[in-house]
Amino acid sequence: MHTKKLTSLILAIAVITMVSCNNTSNSKQNSAADENISGEEVAELSTAPMVPRPLTRTHATKVIVNLTVIERVMKLADSTDYMFWTFGGSVPGNFIRVREGDLVEINLTNAPQNKLAHSIDLHAVNGPGGGAEVSNVAPGQTSKFHFRALNPGLFVYHCATAPVPMHISNGMYGLILVEPRKGLPKVDREYYLMQGEFYTKESFGFKGMQEFDEQKGIKEQPEYVVFNGSVNANAGKNALPAKVGETIRLFVGNGGPNLVSSFHVIGEIFDKVYLEGGDATSSNMGTTLIPSGGAAIVEMKINVPGVYNIVDHSIFRTFNKGCLAQIKATGDADTTIFGRN
């Protein structure tokens, strides 16, 4: 008898908790949807590793995002070329920054010289296909649709035209940040990194033009795993600059299409991680998992000058497939924190 009463009580508490959580979530979404839209602006877009400026406005507005799909040959490595399919002419695609509550209008133009139809699926969208069906567009045409940014967070966007894995594998992905209404805490520098895989006919390091290999994609055996579209895109002379004492925020995405990233900065500890780009945060983390099609925001304070290697700690990908970026920090050494005996 007592067992039945206890079971009933537990079930009642669970139901109340679920209803409360749903009401909180719905209330949050409804308040974002109910916020008045004031004016309009054209979104400032950026190319990796740069990030658009933080938003300073305190109201929701209509944000017009103009994206152009460009199919173009670029460097996958120093001596290796590849036909990339891009949002904005680069891999990853342009970084989009909007505010919770904004009405976002997406104008997707498929450049006339392109050969294929393309589309965009934004994981920040509440709506069928994330916008993929309504945005599907032929070369030389422009598609238009809009969505309300109801949920704050960092989200991946990608092409969702068939065959979807091929479009993503050729570089069609990027990030959209929906800032919370009160904004993110101020930091000294922000950078944009996105991991992706390339499945080429020839092996890593082959000189000349490379072609996509669907069978390697199906088997999840990439020849290249890189940050920002190519080997050493942000390493060596292209390392991300920083200074001792600064707090760095990295907006990190994983375009996939297959692998989970074990994201790590060698010699640094993440003071704060927005897990999978959402509200939940964790502190003092050395490595964080970023799923395919997912994202994370990581923050760290630089205490010691030097070069900090950014890697996927599934470490063969770094040493043998090109998954390396770097932060180069300048400033005075502090031997109370780190030094040679």
pLDDT at position 13: 47
Question: Does position 22 have pLDDT exceeding 60, yes or no?
Answer: no
Query: What distance in Å separates the CA atoms of residue 129 and residue 90, rounded to the nearest whole number?
Result: 24
Question: Does position 186 have pLDDT exceeding 80, yes or no?
Answer: yes
Residue with tokens 């719905």: 26
pLDDT at position 258: 98
Q: Is 236 helix (H, G, I), strand (E, B) or coil?
A: helix
| pLDDT tens sequence across 280-336 | 999 999 999 999 999 999 999 999 999 999 999 999 999 999 999 999 999 999 999
pLDDT at position 32: 77
CB within 8 Å of 6: residues ≥ 6 apart: none
Q: For residue 1, what pLDDT band results from cuts at 50, 70 and 90?
A: very low
Question: Does position 7 have pLDDT exceeding 60, yes or no?
Answer: no
- Please give the torsion angle defined by the CA atoms of residues 258, 268, 248 and 294, in that order, rounded to the nearest 10 degrees: 20
Homologous superfamily assigned to 189-330: Cupredoxins -  blue copper proteins (2.60.40.420)
CB within 8 Å of 213: residues ≥ 6 apart: 199, 200, 201
How crowded is residue 291: how many other Cβ atoms within 10 Å of its Cβ? Answer: 14
Percent of the residues in the chain that have a pLDDT greater than 90, as a whole number = 89
Beta strand ranges found along 170-293 (DSSP E): 173-179, 189-198, 208-210, 224-227, 240-243, 247-256, 261-265, 272-274, 281-282, 287-290
Instruction: Tell me the average pLDDT across 205-215.
Output: 97
Tell me whether the CATH fold assigned to 37-179 matches the one assigned to 189-330: yes
Q: For residue 30, what pLDDT band results from cuts at 50, 70 and 90?
A: low
Instruction: Tell me the average pLDDT across 65-80.
Output: 97
Task: Show the CA angle centred on residue 61, arms to residues 59 and 64, nearest 5°.
Answer: 150
Domain coordinates in residue numbering, the chain: 37-179, 189-330
CATH of segment(s) 37-179: 2.60.40.420
| Closest residue by Cα to residue 169 from 52, 55, 256 | 256
Question: Does position 103 have pLDDT exceeding 50, yes or no?
Answer: yes
Q: For residue 15, what pLDDT band results from cuts at 50, 70 and 90?
A: very low
Query: What distance in Å separates the CA atoms of residue 295 and residue 274, rounded to the nearest whole number?
Result: 9
Instruction: Tell me the average pLDDT across 267-281.
Output: 96
Query: How high is the mean pLDDT of the chain?
Result: 93
Q: Concatenated DSSP letters for 85-103?
A: EEESSSSS--BEEEETT-E
| Closest residue by Cα to residue 292 from 317, 258, 251, 250 | 258
Q: For residue 34, what pLDDT band results from cuts at 50, 70 and 90?
A: confident
Question: Does position 17 have pLDDT exceeding 90, yes or no?
Answer: no
pLDDT at position 35: 92
Instruction: Tell me the average pLDDT across 68-80.
Output: 97
pLDDT at position 16: 45
| pLDDT tens sequence across 37-67 | 999 999 999 999 999 999 999 999 999 999 9
Q: Concatenated DSSP letters for 254-276?
A: EEESSPPEEEEETT--BSEEEGG
Question: Does position 10 have pLDDT exceeding 50, yes or no?
Answer: no
Percent of the residues in the chain that have a pLDDT greater than 70, as a whole number = 91
